[in-house]
Amino acid sequence: MFHGSIVALLTPFKGGKVDEKAFQSFVEWQVAQGTHGLVPCGTTGESPTLSHDEHNRVVELCIEAAGGKVPVMAGSGSNSTDEAIALTRHARQAGAQAALVVTPYYNKPSQEGLYQHFKAIHDAADLPIFIYNIPGRSVVDMSVATMARLAKLPNIVGVKDATADLSRPSRLLQEVGRDFIQLSGEDATALAFNAQGGVGCISVTANIAPALCSAMQNAWAKGDLKEAFRLRDVLSPLHDSMFVETSPAPVKFAASLLGLATDEVRLPLVPASDNARAAVRGAMTKAGLLS
């Protein structure tokens, strides 16, 4: 169900509040542009600064706007296991097709702690779960052995791998087989990740270039490597520009240039600097997104 270009949705704000109308219009645009899947309330969606009510509402709005046309993988992770269980249960009740659960940040659990955290969520919420392994943000790295152990649980179905370690998908593939869905969490290495055993990317850049990102993944799936590599090269400067400063400030500025949302972020994040804006604008122009 989950493959290709899956967008890590930004959460539009207006005057400090979630802009529900802009968000649903954004989701509808993503679907029309060919995005293969939707992830609300991930890191790009500024989930750490959403209240529980806001978090749940954004998931509901996404599912409603998607209208069953593409699957929704709701972000539901937390460094509190009880909180992650509550968010995952809500995602199931709201109609999400899966949950994306990040490794517990700040707590720095052991590998056994990671296993027990995910097992507790698995046992409490009847919903397919993707492990979100992002050491750069969470300061903990789930090992291949721990992931393979979790993959034996029926509802642990895949991973969003944001380690940027291209040896990982191949090594995990040897342990768990192809039924375990491996998705890249790094736009810049999305095709290389596929070559190592992945089947798609949960993408930040897809917020502003969904048609290009989905076309690249479609070309790869069809075996049209020439076109896939061409699109990779078109997208490469965009990927770089999305991370010139802490995400999602750059991608929100990019979205504002396209009239999709404001560039408003919540503290402790701040809007993109002038230098970052220049880099984003230049990359978007080079990719043909701006004239």
Contacts of 115 (CB under 8 A, 6+ apart): 146, 149, 150
106 is catalytic: no
DSSP assignment of 210-243 equals HHHHHHHHHHHHHT-HHHHHHHHHHHHHHHHHTT
Continuous segment of H or E residues that includes residue 102: strand 98-102
69 is catalytic: no
Other CB atoms within 10 A of residue 290 CB: 14
Give residue 172's identity as a one-letter amino acid code: L
As beta bridge partners, residue 98 has 73
Q: Is 202 annotated as a binding residue?
A: yes
Is residue 88 a contact partner of residue 119, using CB atoms and an 8 Å limit? no
Separation of alpha carbons 218 and 252, rounded Å: 26
Alpha helices in the chain (DSSP H): 20-32, 52-66, 81-94, 111-124, 135-138, 144-150, 168-176, 190-195, 210-222, 225-241, 249-257, 274-286
As beta bridge partners, residue 130 has 100, 158
Catalytic residue among 17, 69, 119, 160: 160
Separation of alpha carbons 83 and 244, rounded Å: 32
Separation of alpha carbons 105 and 113, rounded Å: 12
Q: Is 44 annotated as a binding residue?
A: yes
Separation of alpha carbons 99 and 196, rounded Å: 24
Catalytic residue among 14, 108, 132, 152: 132
Binding residues: 44, 202
Binding residues for pyruvate: 44, 202
Active-site residue set: 132, 160
